[in-house]
Chains A and B, each alone.
Chain A
Amino acid sequence: MTILIDRDTKVIVQGITGTVGSFQTKVMLDYGTKVVAGVTPGKGGQSVHGVPVYDLVEDAVDENGGDASLIFVPGPYAADAALEAINAGVSLAVMTAEGVPLLDVMKVMNLATERKAAVIGPDTAGLISPGRCKVGVHPHRLFMEGNIGVVSKSGALSYETSKMLTDSGYGQSTVIGIGGGPMWGLTQIEALRLFEEDAETEAVVLLGEIGGSMEEEAADFISEHMSKPVVSLIVGRHAPEGERMGHAGAIIQGGRGTAAGKIEALEEAGARIAKGPREIPVILKELL
């Protein structure tokens, strides 16, 4: 089993005719992802790597089906694209763009709640169930099918960690990048819950970072609801206060959002803490 996506997930790519959309579609097709249609307003009727392109998501879904939409539309238009996808009935919208206005993100999240759709992002690399399906931009050579669930705010940190896991013989069930924040659709808690329920996942790696309080909330969830072992790496341990470290949400302000606070909460909740990705497989070996 995997979470959120599997071998049969039908994927729509919004922004498929752009440089990034087209390149990543090719990579996903080669990986075996069922990319059934693409959407670029004004380019309906064309095709990209054999994938038919439509003007509207609803037309793409009507003719090909569509479970998930991967959105490569730039920030200013990304929320509209997500609203369109959710209204067309996809159950999973993956928003890769950075710089989506927060007021627009709120509208997307409100509609998603109403339609019971999941939103991943914004500012996310997407998700991958190695060997089966990839709805994202992961360098899949670094991943391997297996039993470790990974949830990360940062895409690149999930690649780094998965590489270490793969090199040590630990494959992954699903790897989810939830995005750089400061507003998230799917949260660490929801990912943990899905991994807890997933029969294939034996342990979960939680990759967090400074800023906000999501890791502390995840710690509460771990202590109350997780029976599977959790290993966590929190980055930004040495980050200077008041500096935004790349992600919109990654900042320590007024002594809040520190790595130390998150590490303490997670340790108290029973999670094991790794200082770097190298320690993660070592800890897993002790636990499994």
Chain B
Amino acid sequence: MRLPEYKSKQVFAEYGLRVPRGGVASKPEEAGEIARELGVPVAVKAQVLVGGRGHAGGIKFADNAVDAERVAGEILGGVLRRQDVDKVLVEEKVQIEREFYASVTLDYTNKCPVVIVSSEGGVDIEATARDNADAIVKELVNNQLGLTDYQARRIAKKVGLEGREMRQFAGVIQALFKIIHEYDASLVEINPLVLTTEKELIAADAKIILDDGAYFRHRELYKGLVEEKRLPSEGVKLRKAQAESAEIPTYIELDGRIGVIADGAGTGMLTFDLVKDYGGKIETYCELGGKATPALIEEAMKIIVTNEKVRALLINLIGGLNRMDEMAEGIVAYVSQNKSMTSNVVVRMSGTMEQEGRELLEEHGITAYDNIYEAIERAIEISGGN
């Protein structure tokens, strides 16, 4: 899960990193109030979890409280790269002398953390890596030793800093490394890390991505983040929230007429590709993971079908860990309550306890396909063709 900028900055502050003074507003008046208290020119920044906010109009500057209220009004309530903007961060505008890039992330190849810094901050780091690789310094961290102080100083030296600024920069990297470990983050990034005209290093932006696999070690934090999301009311938002609370691993809505349920990421993507190849139009893609229960597949069917655009439901199951008798139980539980839906459901079933599963489906008027291609053709046909 990615933390919004203002949350990331709260974490940074806990670790002694300098961040611009400011506050969060969900109404334009609140933004004006924060700017008034700060008493200096401010930046008003949309709190959405997407890159390229600036280019998309999500960051604006204001010289005074009246301006701040006005630009906050322009940003709040809008949509940026498909995300609703319901909060802005209002903070003092930093006086830039130089901009750096600093991050700690996990190197999946070398199986250790890696520090990545650059003397060219404020731009896309991937672009720098492509166009000016020399400007990037990468340092792998030994898991047993951790990030040593001399290593941090060496990294700071390599981006061209000396004296107090070098030591300050080394301290920033050490703090990022600590956050990786203590928050189970997979990425902690500052871009840009600004050296101000007063020679202070300050995190003008902040990005933390938490490792969802470690959520059980940070339950309170995750709970807070989920509660903070606006309560969804209807349509796609409601269905997505329902899928999330049912712990359905993947639920995506697109624009089409077929709902797809698969019990594995690989076969799910295969089904997705083949339906599209054969001209079918997918409205919903839902993947149940390798450890689905009858209740999970039943819930997935319920959620998908409340979407009126879905005319055919294609369920592709090829179970190893998932047992087909259990999946059939879930499907049957749904169709017994919604008999009129039976003819819109196409099931392909193969794998562990397949025979038992097929028999159960047969008793309820569903003949499961064995071949994925035949099931796909049938689903496209029911959905109204290609």
**A-to-B contact residues, CB < 8 Å:** 20, 23-24, 27, 75-76, 96, 98-107, 109-110, 113, 123, 125, 136-139, 141-142, 152-160, 163, 180-184, 207, 209-210, 212, 233, 235-240, 243-248, 250, 254, 256, 275-278
Docked Cα-Cα span, A136 to B269, in Å, equals 22
Smallest CB–CB gap between A160 and chain B, Å? 5
A250 near B269: Cβ-Cβ < 8 Å: yes
Chain A CB within 8 A of B51 CB: yes
B108 near A183: Cβ-Cβ < 8 Å: yes
Which B144-176 residues have C-beta < 8 A from chain A? Answer: 144
How many A-B contacts if CB must be within 8 Å?
179
Docked Cα-Cα span, A181 to B213, in Å, equals 11
Chain A CB within 8 A of B143 CB: yes
**B-to-A contact residues, CB < 8 Å:** 51, 106, 108, 111-112, 126, 143-144, 180-181, 184, 186, 211-217, 249-250, 252, 254, 262-270, 272-274, 276-277, 285, 287, 289-291, 318-321, 323, 350-352, 354, 372-373
A139 near B354: Cβ-Cβ < 8 Å: yes
- B321: which A residues are within 8 A, CB to CB? 20, 24, 96, 125, 137, 155
Smallest CB–CB gap between A42 and chain B, Å? 20
A246 near B264: Cβ-Cβ < 8 Å: yes
The contact sample of 6 A-B pairs, CB cut-off 8 A, is: A98-B291, A99-B212, A100-B213, A110-B143, A238-B276, A247-B266
- A136: which B residues are within 8 A, CB to CB? 320
Docked Cα-Cα span, A99 to B215, in Å, equals 9
Known contacts: A139-B351, A238-B276. The answer to whether A103 contacts B214 by CB under 8 A is: yes
B320 near A154: Cβ-Cβ < 8 Å: no
A276 near B273: Cβ-Cβ < 8 Å: yes
Partner of B213, one of A96, A244, A248, A254: A248
B214 near A101: Cβ-Cβ < 8 Å: yes
- A96: which B residues are within 8 A, CB to CB? 321
Q: What are the 5 closest A-B residue pairs judged by CB atoms, nearest first?
A: A154-B266, A246-B265, A156-B264, A157-B266, A101-B214
- B320: which A residues are within 8 A, CB to CB? 125, 136-139, 155-156, 159
Nearest residue, chain A, Cβ from B111:
A109
B184 near A101: Cβ-Cβ < 8 Å: yes
Q: Which of B108, B213, B285 has the most CB of A within 10 A?
A: B213
B106 near A183: Cβ-Cβ < 8 Å: yes
Partner of A209, one of B111, B181, B266: B266
Smallest CB–CB gap between A200 and chain B, Å? 23
Docked Cα-Cα span, A76 to B143, in Å, equals 20
Docked Cα-Cα span, A278 to B83, in Å, equals 39
Docked Cα-Cα span, A90 to B277, in Å, equals 45
- A276: which B residues are within 8 A, CB to CB? 270, 273-274, 277, 373
- A236: which B residues are within 8 A, CB to CB? 269, 272-273
Partner of B264, one of A103, A154, A212: A154
B266 near A240: Cβ-Cβ < 8 Å: no
B290 near A106: Cβ-Cβ < 8 Å: no
B267 near A142: Cβ-Cβ < 8 Å: no
- B373: which A residues are within 8 A, CB to CB? 276, 278
Known contacts: A99-B213, A139-B354, A156-B318. The answer to whether A182 contacts B266 by CB under 8 A is: no
Smallest CB–CB gap between A233 and chain B, Å? 8
- B263: which A residues are within 8 A, CB to CB? 156
B277 near A246: Cβ-Cβ < 8 Å: no
A235 near B273: Cβ-Cβ < 8 Å: yes
Known contacts: A240-B254, A246-B269, A278-B373. The answer to whether A106 contacts B143 by CB under 8 A is: yes
A76 near B290: Cβ-Cβ < 8 Å: no
Known contacts: A236-B273, A246-B250. The answer to whether A98 contacts B318 by CB under 8 A is: no
Smallest CB–CB gap between A195 and chain B, Å? 19
- B269: which A residues are within 8 A, CB to CB? 154, 157, 209-210, 235-236, 239, 245-246, 250
Nearest residue, chain A, Cβ from B180:
A103
Docked Cα-Cα span, A177 to B274, in Å, equals 22
